[in-house]
Structure 1
């Protein structure tokens, strides 16, 4: 099958147009065959370069495409490209962080909690994480000021020490040495007095030490005696005694035995109470009418008789 000249011309024109579109987009920085998604963010200053890594959860997933300065807002606009297969929430942030002590920064995508995923071309919020190097650089001025103050204090101290050593007056080094010498002499006298005191009381100290040793030996003897005591046997006997007491108290509580019946039997209690009342009445009657119970007659007169109500009973002739 032969292709006509017109068809060939049309194919060449179409291919030329496609090539022209590809070249124009390529010159604009847009790769039609690129399989990445692009996102944008802004920072107040620029500490990045084209080789700075782009990571998420510690994994390298992209690169920096462009770093431009926005003259209107005064901010640095950064464009990153990541794999199209990467999905993350729309409210995620892009954090600038230090990659090490030797300098250099990178970008990390910090996922948010939105249910909607970010789309290519979105402008994401940014934040800056200050690391060790940044903190040291910020605090270096304060550290240097404190160091200057410390060095000035040390210099003043050394100057005063020089004055003390060089000064030969009464308020200088000689006076200090004299006071130190007096302190040493006083300490020496105290030591001598202590030695003299120990020498005078040597016998008493020796006797006290002997007494202490004797007391210690006696304590050891007492301890050995306590070890030999059959403590377990004594405890066992005490336990048996307590058991017997518990059994006796249980019998008393249940009404067994004389004491138990005395405490538990209400009839016996009532009888004792009645007898007590009758005895009380008898004593009262003896006190009021002693003639009823005690009769004394010198001539052998017969004693009068009384009934239960206390009336005199006359004898029948």
Structure 2
């Protein structure tokens, strides 16, 4: 079969277009022959971020920014293509950071922890870090303020060191020297007083030493006196306690004697407790008295007789 020239030209044009597309994708950083993972991150501001900027983990590139799209709420959605050889935890945070003082941007992954991993198409948490210039600016402001204060201090010192200041400074040193001389004179006076009173101090310390020596020599006697005093107090306390115990024993013995008499039937209480006939008589007397009271309430005329006119009733 003979291939026409038009067919050859068409095939050549198709191959050229395919090579052009593949080459353009390769130059943009796209790997046409491998299936990459796609993740998304939304930012309020992506100033300086562009397509094909790298995605880094600890300075190592694992992917790139493949697309940027403005959403209806004003945020910018960044599409991230990640090498499929790396698993990204679901709690990973995608930081938008500056990588140089010139303002170059990159997405830096702060890998999370856990057993759950993000799947292709998931949206990761995003945050925007300050630029390096913005981070350096507070330090620069503090340095400028410090230099300004230092310049003010030097200017004040320069104005302070004048002939009048030098004279005052010399007068101050003269006053200090006078104070030191006065202090030296005072210490000499104190030394003289101590020397005069030295004999008295020696006598006082001698007396104190004699007292302590006497106490040391009579230590055994003092110990014996304290022991005797402790023995006397112990005997006094023991005597009171023993007397109390004897009184309690006597009271218990008397009570036991009384109980024994009651149990043996001696005395009125003993007879009342032990004589059954006396108990029965008392019980019968109580019952008869109860019947009498009942009959008295029912028929009072049998026991009480009176007349208004003084007459008698049989």
TM-score (normalised: structure 2) = 0.50
Q: For residue 188 of structure 1, what is the aligned residue in structure 2?
A: 184
Task: List per-residue Cα deviations over 1:76-103 (Å, max 9, x = no partner).
Answer: 9866432225454667531145789xx9
For residue 144 of structure 2, give the secondary structure of its aligned residue in structure 1. helix
Alpha-carbon RMSD: 5.8
Mark the runs of 5 or more structure 1 residues left unpaired by the alignment: 271-317
Q: Does 1:266 find its partner at 2:255?
A: yes
In the TM superposition, what is the alpha-carbon distance from 1:197 to its structure 2 partner? 0.9
The structure-2 alpha-carbon separation of the partners of 1:64 and 1:40, relative to structure 1 and needing over 3 Å to count, comes to: same
Select 1:54's aligned residue among 53, 56, 64. 56
Quote the offset at 1:187 in angstroms.
1.1
Taking the TM superposition and a 5 Å limit, the aligned residue runs for 1:64-143 are: 64-65=64-65, 80-88=80-88, 92-96=92-96, 107-111=108-112, 117-120=118-121, 124-129=124-129, 135-143=135-143
**Residue pair 1:64, 1:80 contacting (<8 A) in 2 also:** yes
Partner of 2:203: 207
Give yes or no for contact 1:61–1:83 (8 Å, CA) kept in 2.
no
Task: Name the CA distance, whole Å, in 2 between partners of 1:115 and 1:24.
Answer: 37
TM-aligned CA distance change 1:266 to 1:195, over 3 Å: same
TM-score (norm 1): 0.50
| Secondary structure of 1:81 counterpart | strand
Aligned equivalents of 1:224, 1:143: Cα separation in 2: 80
Q: Secondary structure at the match of 1:191?
A: helix
1:143 match: secondary structure: helix
Aligned residues between the structures: 239
Matches within 5 A, 1:286-305: none
Contact residue 69 and residue 77 of structure 1 kept, 8 A: yes
Between the aligned partners of 2:16 and 2:253, the Cα distance in structure 1 is: 125
Gaps of 5+ in 2: 260-314
- 3-state DSSP of counterpart to 1:186: helix
